[in-house]
């Protein structure tokens, strides 16, 4: 999501317990920060965030009653923890060092592409990170175009 600073800022404004709706509301509040035109919560990223919230609600909640590959029940909390662990493993990756490519490659590996667009290494990748974590965690995303 653009690094540790934006993550701390968004979660610092979010109401606990952290839910997709509360985090999304915090992202909307981020639109009030006019310090630059590339804030994670900026309006230009809003449709991406809306898709992510929709997918989390639709697929993570749906997965909470499903079984994993070994047939063991997987809870919603376990799915969330898996996605969080993946994202925590990516903290510190950066475009300037070229280490963010693993995120872009993970996102682009999922076919059909969730938004019908192959993300490039030069694109903003904050929302891509959330989708890539879901993909790596094994959740399914529909091919939504908005």
Residue 123: inside a domain, yes or no?
yes
Helix (H) or strand (E) holding 87: helix 76-90
DSSP string covering 114-140: TTS-PPPTTS--HHHHHHHHHHHHT--
Residue 22: inside a domain, yes or no?
yes
pTM, whole model, 2 decimals?
A: 0.50
pLDDT of residue 104: 93
Residue 13: inside a domain, yes or no?
yes
What is the count of structural domains for the chain?
A: 1
pLDDT of residue 2: 62
Residue 72: inside a domain, yes or no?
yes
State the residue range of the domain holding 66: 4-137
pLDDT of residue 74: 67
Residue 146: inside a domain, yes or no?
no
Residue 145: inside a domain, yes or no?
no
Q: Which residues contact 101 (CB under 8 A, 6 or more apart)?
A: 121
Per-residue pLDDT of the chain (146 residues; tens, 9 = 90+): 567 777 787 888 777 777 777 787 777 777 777 776 667 777 777 788 888 878 777 766 554 444 444 555 667 777 788 888 888 888 888 888 888 898 999 899 888 887 789 999 999 888 889 888 888 887 754 333 33
Residue 119: inside a domain, yes or no?
yes
Residue 142: inside a domain, yes or no?
no
């Amino acid at each position: 999501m653009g690094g540790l600073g934006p993550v701390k800022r968004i979660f610092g404004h979010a109401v606990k317990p952290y839910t997709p709706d509360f985090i999304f509301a915090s992202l909307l509040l981020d639109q009030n920060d006019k310090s630059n035109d590339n804030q994670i919560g900026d309006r230009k990223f809003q449709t991406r965030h809306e898709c992510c919230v929709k997918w989390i609600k639709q697929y993570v909640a749906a997965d909470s009653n499903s079984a994993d590959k070994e047939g063991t029940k997987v809870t919603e909390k376990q799915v969330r923890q898996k996605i969080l662990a993946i994202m925590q493993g990516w903290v510190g990756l950066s475009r300037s060092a070229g280490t963010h490519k693993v995120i872009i490659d993970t996102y682009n590996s999922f076919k059909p592409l969730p938004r019908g667009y192959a993300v490039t290494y030069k694109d903003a990748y904050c929302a891509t990170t959330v989708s890539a974590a879901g993909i790596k965690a094994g959740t399914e995303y529909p091919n939504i175009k908005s």
